[in-house]
Structure 1
Amino acid sequence: MSSIDDPGHGHSPAAWTAVVIMLLAVTLGTLFFVLDMPALVWASVGLFVGGAIVGWAMSKAGYGAYGDKYQPKQH
């Protein structure tokens, strides 16, 4: 059971944005792998890393679970 002060796991704009970008990268990378397009597979790897960087940058900008711009919703 979580407490009232617990922001949760990944319920922040930074986490959601990072996960969506990284999920898109994995999906595209899988498609390009099946279609035998190695350059685009590696571009998908770059997009995956970029998603992690975007999530980290948004977290540092205050949109993470403990950021000042994030307001958790009451359940």
Structure 2
Amino acid sequence: MAGSSHGHTPAAWTGVTIAFIGFCVSGAFMVMAQPVGFWAGMVVVAIGGVVGWVMSAMGLGQPKDAHKDFQDALAESRAAVSAKS
């Protein structure tokens, strides 16, 4: 995954950051035994997913064919390495 830039987009970073903040809020309020705060944090987690999806739809995510392009480039580089051997 690291070689294919999986998740290295503004949409992914923003969505995950918002969801992580919501997760931390929910965890803190769960320890404090405050159900309303816990559910508010869970709403923030859901908002993170929606924001990431909307940003991806706006073109800030990874293109649909990025995985295919990566696989093609990987096959070409492997062929070049084996041709040198």
Q: RCO higher in 1 or 2 (8 Å CA, sep ≥ 6)?
A: 1
Using the TM superposition, give the Cα deviation of residue 28 of structure 1 relative to its aligned residue in structure 2, in angstroms.
0.8
Output the amino acid matched with 2:58.
Answer: A
Q: Partners in 1 of 2:30 and 2:52 — Cα distance?
A: 25
**Under a length normalisation based on structure 1, what TM-score does the superposition of the two structures give?**
0.78
Aligned length: 63
Q: Partners in 2 of 1:9 and 1:37 — Cα distance?
A: 36
Amino-acid identity (%): 37
Q: For the aligned residues, what is the CA RMSD?
A: 1.7
Question: Is 1:41 matched up with 2:38?
Answer: yes
Q: 2:63 aligns with which of 63, 66, 70?
A: 66
Q: Partners in 2 of 1:25 and 1:45 — Cα distance?
A: 6
Task: List runs of 5+ in structure 2 lacking aligned partners.
Answer: 65-85
**Under a length normalisation based on structure 2, what TM-score does the superposition of the two structures give?**
0.69
Using the TM superposition, give the Cα deviation of residue 60 of structure 1 relative to its aligned residue in structure 2, in angstroms.
0.2
Using the TM superposition, give the Cα deviation of residue 10 of structure 1 relative to its aligned residue in structure 2, in angstroms.
0.5
Give the structure 2 partner of residue 50 of structure 1.
47
Output the amino acid matched with 1:51.
Answer: G
Task: List runs of 5+ in structure 1 lacking aligned partners.
Answer: 68-75
Bigger helix share: 2
Moved over 6 A (4+): none
Q: Partners in 2 of 1:63 and 1:51 — Cα distance?
A: 15
Q: Partners in 1 of 2:12 and 2:18 — Cα distance?
A: 10
